[in-house]
């Protein structure tokens, strides 16, 4: 992974963040579920790297990506994912941010998989973007018919 990756924290550096998330500077990103426990360094880095600031969850503009912060104990993950899709472009991606294993609010991978499937999404990868949060890339399931 080279110099753009810190093996001790399992996190990419700021220069590689947009690449790791598959975003471009002109990407429009909506943030949902932000609270005082989110990774502020990650949010600040995204704000610095993107041409437009992160869009509030109450906005109804069509976006390229959704950054969804979710913890065990928040409402229902399937409902949160379905809500995230309301403004997402059909080719867009949901980055589901959940606390890493061993941290308060940890969400088991099986729950993420089941909720994503129920919401019509498919998990494709994960990204090391934060020392305390796991990032799971979810996309629309393609129709096979």
Position 111 pLDDT exceeds 50: yes
Span between the terminal Cα atoms of the chain, in Å = 38
Distance CA 7, CA 94 (A): 25
pLDDT value of position 14: 56
Range 99-118 average pLDDT: 95
CATH class of 24-140: alpha beta
Which tokens hold the place of 109?
């991978």
Mean pLDDT is lowest, of 20-24, 37-41, 92-96, 99-103, for 20-24
Mean pLDDT (whole number) for 80-91:
95
Cα distances from 80 to residues 18, 41, 83, 129, in angstroms, run 24, 24, 5, 21
Average pLDDT, the chain: 87
Question: 60-75 pLDDT, tens per residue?
Answer: 999 999 999 999 999 9
The residue ranges of every structural domain in the chain are 24-140
């Amino acid at each position: 992974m080279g110099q753009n990756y810190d093996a001790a924290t399992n996190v990419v550096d700021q220069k590689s963040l947009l690449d790791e998330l598959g975003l471009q500077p002109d990407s429009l990103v909506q943030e949902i579920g932000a609270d005082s426990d989110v990774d502020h360094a990650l949010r600040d880095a995204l704000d610095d790297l993107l041409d437009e600031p992160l869009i509030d969850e109450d906005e109804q503009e069509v976006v390229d990506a959704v950054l969804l912060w979710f913890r065990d104990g928040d409402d229902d993950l399937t409902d949160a994912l379905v809500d995230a899709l309301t403004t997402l472009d059909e080719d867009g991606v949901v980055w589901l941010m959940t606390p890493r294993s061993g941290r308060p609010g940890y969400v088991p991978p099986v729950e993420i998989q089941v909720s994503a499937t129920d919401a019509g999404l498919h998990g494709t990868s994960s990204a090391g973007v934060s020392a305390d949060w796991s990032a799971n890339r979810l996309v629309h399931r393609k129709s096979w018919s």
